[in-house]
Every structure is written in structure tokens, then in C-alpha cells.
Structure 1
Amino acid sequence: MFDVVIVGGGPVGLYLAALLLQEGVSVRVLEQRHQRENHSRAIGIHPPALNALDSVGVAAAMVGAGVQIRSGTAVSHGRTVGSMSFATVSDSFPFVLSLPQFMTESVLERRVHDLDASALRRGTRVMEVTDDGGLVTVALAAPEEDGSGSQITARLLVAADGARSLMRSLLDIPVLSKSYPDHYVMGDFAADCDHSEEAVLYLETGGIVESFPLPGKVRRWVVRMGSPAHGLDAGELSRLVYQRTGVRPDPATNTMLSAFTPRSTTACRLVAGRAVLIGDAAHEISPIGGQGMNLGWLDAAELAPIICASLSGSQVGWRLQDYAVRRSRAAVLARRQAEVNMSLGRPLAPAFLGLRNLAMGAVAGLPAANRLVARRFTMQ
């Protein structure tokens, strides 16, 4: 029997495990994947999340491996509309860190392994959850090698298994979903010789193109589309980027290609008996703006002390309910920011695009407004 079983060994589940393990809590992390996916996926880590990650001793390693984005520039028709500096957003981490998710997970997994080499159990699929009011029992699928299933019992269960959470279904927690009229395709390409460590937003008539630096002299390009872009290849994405920006990524250097249509999903409750939802299992946020993974880490940072208090015998029912209210509010704010980000990237007629660019340039030119926007963008 364990104190806590965490379902989901992604960045949020691993971070929560590290937080609890360093407090002496016995933890088992159940991850369905047999091995980590070597795709960049989520890349942006904001200052509040870096502060949280520092509490388990991994922020320095991540900063050392990533790219520090200290500013962003908006460009339209080859002219600079405005710039935004992150210099004032944090004393400790005055930047947005760009780091591929598989590298983030690798650092967190090493930390968990250092704290308890047996804590993470891969290739494990949960089939059923039973909560008797005192303990939670998780039934696991039978491993192929011996054909016999197993059970794990814990005092608490945390579901950190992502936006399409199986645990949420097993716990009979309904969700509210919202779709958007936005479609994107993104890809990672080698940067040219003028590789810069700033983010660039190209505000063009056909829709926004976003460009972010990654480690290893790589840049991610994200293009807003008018319809779903599944099936687009690297050459077609390169041509789209060139048509709107004048920059042509080399298709031969493409290492990741993905098309997506953003949506938001909110669980109707975050606490169910002795189980708690965190991260995308609790609230899926549009990836535009890079808030989802960060939001999950902040969930875990707030939840960990409540879990420790409950295991020591304290009555935490009211604290859990308060936690659920606060984290739901944080998710609403993140969703609204993502919706603003998406609205700024939608196609506009030339006249309206020019007016919007003038307004954005005026705001960027006011130091106080610039600082405020930078703080909002970095989840503060």
C-alpha cells in the first residue's frame, strides 16, 4: 500500500511525485507508455512554473538545457509593430524558457528516480478504481508476460493522465467542453544562420505565424489555418511560412510536424472522494500561449502541502474544496488569455489589420502597458 498513487507519468505527474517524495510520502506513479515520446510537444515554461520547479531542484538543469526567450517582437508586412520585454516579469527568471517536453520529462524523471528508483512504473494501464471511503484501490490490466492483473492500494489517488483522461471517466466526472474556429499546423525546423533567441509573431492578412527558438539552433513555426490541416507535409508548411513571412524553413530539416484544433475542457469537479484531478485532466487549455503544462505544475505545487497535511491526520476537506475553487479560477483566467491570444491571430482585412497593428504598437510603446501585458502573457 502507498500513501499516494498518481496516474500519469507526464511532466505534471512526475513533478507532483518529486514534491511528495522529498517530503517522505510513499508514491507510485503509473504510466501507460512504455517509454517517453521523443517529440518536442509543449515547449514554453513560464516564470511562476520555474519557481515551482525550483522547489524540487530541477529548474537549474532545465534552464541550462533550454533557450531563454527574453523578448518577443510582432512583425507585419516586414515592419516591426512592437516589442515586448520579459525583463521585469521575475527577479529569478526574467524570461520564458523554451525546452522540448521530452527533455523536461527526462529531467523530472531523473529527479524522481533519485528520490525513489521504484516510484515510476511504466507500461501500466488502469482498468478500475474503487474508493471505499478510507482507501482507494486501483485495478491494473494484466501484463502480457504473465496474464495476471494486479491491484494497488493507496490512501489518496491523483489523476494526472491528460486531456483525454481515462481516470476522469472511471471516476464518473463529467466535463464541459468548448471548441474554437481556429486551426493550426506547426513544425520544428533548423534555424538559419541568423538564428535569434527571441519569439517573433508575424501578423499577416492570412492569419498569424508564430516562431519560437528551441535548443540546438531549431525554431518552431506555428501557422494559423482556415480549416483543419491534417495531412500537410513539411514542404507545404515551409511554403506557407514563406508566403506569409518571407522566411523559408528547410523542409529537409523538419523534426516534428503536427496539426491541431484547440479546444478547452473543464472537469465539473476536481475532487471526487479520495481522488483529485490535476493538469489537463482537470482543465485542458488551448496550447496557444503555452499555459497548459504550467497550469498543471501550479496545481501540483498547491496540492502537495494539502496531501501532506491529510496524511498526517489533519482534516483537509475544506482545504481541498478551497483548492478546487482557486485552481478552477486559475484555469478560467488561463483559458481567457488563450482566447485573447487566438483572437489576435485570426485573419483580418488589410484595413482592419492596419488599425489593430497601430493599436498594438501604441500599447507596446507605453512602458507600463508593456510590462502589464508581459506579466499577463507569462501567467502573472
Structure 2
Amino acid sequence: MEEVIVVGAGPTGLWLAAELRLQGVPVTVLEARRERNPHSKALTVHPRTVEILGMRGLADDFVGAGTPLPTGHFGALDARLDFRVLDTPYPFTLLLPQARTEELLEEHARGMGARVLRGHRVTGLVQEPDAVRIEVEGPDGPYTLQARYAVGCDGTRSRVREAVGIDFPGTDTTVWGWLGDVILDEPPVGPVSEFGPQGGVMAVPLPGGLTRFVGIAPEDHRPDHPGELTLREMHEKTRRVLGTDFGMRDAHWLSRFGNATRQAATYRKDRVLLAGDAAHMHFPTGGVGLNVGFQDATNLGWKLAATLQGTAPADLLDTYHAERHPVGARLLSGTRAQTALMTAYPFEGQALRAFLADLISDLPVLSRALAERLSALDVGYPPTDPHTAHPLTGTRAPDLAFADGTSLFSLMNSGRHLLLDLDGVDESRSPDPSPALPYGTHRHTTRLSQPDEQWANVHTALIRPDGHVAWAFDRTIDTASWPR
């Protein structure tokens, strides 16, 4: 019997497989495609995702493969959000085509010992009392696998979600966007973004001499599919908005996408879990989709591993839904709001866009708040009892700098819980604050080199493998009250 079967070898499934292997859990990834998709739906890796890669010692590989951009957008407004003000070692969005992201993630997952099987399509799934039975159509014919748990990372049309009967409520498509990767005879200097009464067009250069155009037009507000996108249609839509098509030719990929917005009613049903696009679908505004799925996997990986290894509290796996479902709901709300702004074609809508752009330019605090939301740096998980918990409980831990020359992210490479003793007392003389620490917790005794206001008085903190604070205590707290 398999321990875990992950269905889908996109970014979410590959990262989840690597996180499980980091914890020592055997994992098999089943992917219906025989070859990796050469076309990249997603292009953007946000700061929190790069932070997670940094916590596993991988950030340099990804940053080196992409192009850091210091700004981002909300609803394609003219005023850009400045990511350079964010409290992170990675104050940028990373332009990195999904095909390259998946290549790097698959190399990592395989290097960690994950088994990735391509050309293996899941045709059925049945839950049994102690296992999940999965029917698969492979290159050599049909076969059956059993696993203790299965995770659907198989996209918006998830076969796993459908097989176990998890509802996927939401709204249907009412507007269609379009995209195309093309060659330009007269490429613009730098990215292009223009939204007005005639529609909107964005363009960004890609590796290999290609340019990605993405657009939306008033005539595409319809529930039915407009048909296959053609290069001629791209010419017309681009010229209408920008006044030129830059000598557009040789389309490598043309596609449409809708604004259907849905979220799984539950991210867990017994021994089956969902992550990424299998759990939430939305209009791809702001490039957040890949990132939220990646962060789903980071939250789930250590919890599922601890459950399998018998070291987790009985309800730990249920906290995956409790913590990530609200994040997904906020994602859908945000993408709907951005879609409304991007489709605000009438004069009143254009006035609203200009008004909000002015606010972003005039109010740095608003610009920063939107940047933190898009980048997921503001994601936190409310504690069970907010009245007694430390204010840091559930928050994302920043890359704290320590007096011994280390930093928090560099200490998270093992994927274990990290106990920080921040009084700098020699570990051999420091009392064990809690016999109930999670199994395998790593301990580090040091002092903060430049503590900010929130961390200045912290004596001890337990950091989860996903980089969030499990609990913290100030120096004014009697150690007899620490959790046991």
C-alpha cells in the first residue's frame, strides 16, 4: 500500500510531494499528461512563495531563473504597487513562466525521492475504511493502487473532487479573457498595460523572444464560449486598445479563460484532500492562483506527514481546511473585485479606476496593504483562543536576523518545527520550556540582532514548518504557564 498518492504534477502537486518527502513520507505523483505542458498559464511568483522556497534553500535557483519585478498591480490600475517596501528578503514579484517553475519543482521533488509517473490518468477513486482505492489508466493499461491518503491537485476539473462528491459551489462564467504568446516585429520597450472604454491589454516579454499578451473586451461579456481565439482577433483587439499590434505574428499559443469562480465546500473528506485549483478556481487577476496552491501544499505537507507518522494531535489534519479555506475565500473575493475594475468600461467605471489609482498613489499605507494582500505576506491563522494567545500566534514569521549570524529562513531548511530561545542562554543550561513540543523539533538558542517592535520582548517562540508562529511568550510570562 502507498502512503500518499498525489494526483496532478502541477506546481501544487509537485511541491506537496517534495514537502512530504522532506518529512520522510513516501509519495507517488500521478499525472495524466505524458509530457510537461510547454505553455505557461501562470507567469508570476509572489514574495511569500519565494520566502517558502527560501525556507527550503531553493530561492536562489528560482530567482536566478526568473526576472524580479519591483512592482505589481491591483485590477490593472495605472498606479503600480511598490513591493520594495515589504518586510521580506524578496521584495518583488518574480516573472517566471509556469513551465520553468514546474521543471524546477519536478527536479526538486524527484531529487527528494518522490515518484512522479507521467501518462497515468486517474479514472476512479473509492474511499475504504482504512485506505483509498484509485483506478488508473497507465501506458501499459489499467491498474489499481491503494494509499492511506490521496490528495487531488488535479485542477479545476478535478477527477478526485468529483469522485468523492465534494461540492464545488460558486458562479459561472460571464466574461472571457484572452491570451496569446506571439513574436513581435516591433516589440515595445518594457511591459505594456492599458485599460479603457475599448477594453484592456497587457503585454510582457517572455523568454525565447516571445511576448505574452493578455486582454479583455466588452464584446466578450457572455456566458457561452466565444470560440477558438485567432491571431486575427488578437490583432484587432490589440490595435483597438493600443493603436498598434507591434507587428504581431507567429502565435505559439492562443487561449481563452473565463471568470467562473468556485471553491470546494471542504478541503478534506476523510482520507481525501484537495489543494490548489482543485480547491478553488477564479479569474487569473494578479497572478495569485499558482501561489495560493503552493501555499496550500506548504500548509498541508507537514500536517499530513505528522498524521501518517502518528506524531500529530487527532485534529491536526482538520486544521488544514480550517486555516486554508478562509484564505481561498478571500482569494475569490479579491479576484472578483479586480475583475470588476478591469471590466469597468463605461465612463463611470473609468472614473472609479482613476479615483482608486489616485488613492494608491497618494496613500502609501493603502498601496502597502494591497501589496501585502496580493503577495500573501499578510496571511495569518487565528489562534483557537485569541484572548489568551500571544499576538504573534498564527502570524507569518519574518526572516528574523540573529546575533550569531544566522537568520530564521536559513534554519527552516529541514522542514521541522523550530524552537527559538531568544535570551541567548546556552542551550545546555536552558530549561526545557515544554515537554509537549512537536516530534522532531529543532532548537536554536540565540538573540535577535535587530528586533522589531513585535518581537523585541519575545523570550521563546515555536515556528511551524510552514513558517507561521505556533506560539510565543514574552519575558514577562511565568514559564510555569507555558503550554504542556
Judge same fold: TM > 0.5, yes or no: yes
- The match for 2:206 among 214, 223, 226 is 214
Q: Deviations over 1:215-273 (max 9, x none)?
A: 34543221112225433322321332122123423322432211121211211211111
Structure with greater helix percent: 1
2:98 corresponds to 1:98? no
Query: What's the counterpart of residue 127 of structure 1?
Result: 123
TM, length-normalised to structure 1 = 0.89
2: CA distance between counterparts of 1:63 and 1:195? 22
Secondary structure in 2 aligned to 1:340?
A: helix
Q: 1:262-301 counterparts in 2 under 5 A?
A: 262-301=259-298
Q: Deviations over 1:21-62 (max 9, x none)?
A: 122111111111111110021111111112223344433222
Q: 1:107-186 counterparts in 2 under 5 A?
A: 107-116=104-113, 119-141=115-137, 143=138, 145=140, 147=141, 149-186=142-179
Alpha carbons of structure 1 residues 174 and 367: separation in structure 2 relative to 1, 3 Å: closer
Query: What's the counterpart of residue 33 of structure 2?
Result: 33
Q: Deviations over 1:291-335 (max 9, x none)?
A: 211111111101111112112213544222222022110011111
Quote the offset at 1:275 in angstroms.
Answer: 1.2
Structure 1 counterpart of 2:89, which letter? Answer: S
- The match for 2:189 among 188, 195, 210 is 195
Does the Cα contact within 8 Å between 2:120 and 2:139 map onto a contact in 1?
no
Query: What's the counterpart of residue 47 of structure 2?
Result: 47
Alpha carbons of structure 1 residues 151 and 87: separation in structure 2 relative to 1, 3 Å: same
Does the Cα contact within 8 Å between 1:271 and 1:321 map onto a contact in 2?
yes
Structure 1 counterpart of 2:197, which letter? Answer: T
Does the Cα contact within 8 Å between 1:44 and 1:98 map onto a contact in 2?
yes
Alpha carbons of structure 1 residues 29 and 72: separation in structure 2 relative to 1, 3 Å: closer
Alpha carbons of structure 1 residues 231 and 125: separation in structure 2 relative to 1, 3 Å: closer
2:358 corresponds to 1:361? yes
Alpha carbons of structure 1 residues 10 and 359: separation in structure 2 relative to 1, 3 Å: closer
- Identical-pair percentage: 29
Structure 2 counterpart of 1:124, which letter? Answer: H
Does the Cα contact within 8 Å between 2:68 and 2:93 map onto a contact in 1?
yes
Alpha carbons of structure 1 residues 379 and 315: separation in structure 2 relative to 1, 3 Å: closer
Quote the offset at 1:343 in angstroms.
Answer: 0.8
Secondary structure in 1 aligned to 2:198?
A: coil
Query: What's the counterpart of residue 215 of structure 2?
Result: 223
Does the Cα contact within 8 Å between 2:307 and 2:317 map onto a contact in 1?
no
2:311 corresponds to 1:314? yes
Query: What's the counterpart of residue 459 of structure 2?
Result: none
Does the Cα contact within 8 Å between 1:67 and 1:213 map onto a contact in 2?
no
Secondary structure in 2 aligned to 1:259?
A: strand
Secondary structure in 2 aligned to 1:252?
A: strand
Q: 356-365 or 178-187: which moved more? A: 356-365
Which of structures 1 and 2 has the bigger CA Rg?
2
Does the Cα contact within 8 Å between 1:75 and 1:82 map onto a contact in 2?
no
Q: Which runs of 5+ in 1 are unaligned?
A: none
2: CA distance between counterparts of 1:218 and 1:178? 34
TM, length-normalised to structure 2 = 0.71
2: CA distance between counterparts of 1:128 and 1:10? 20
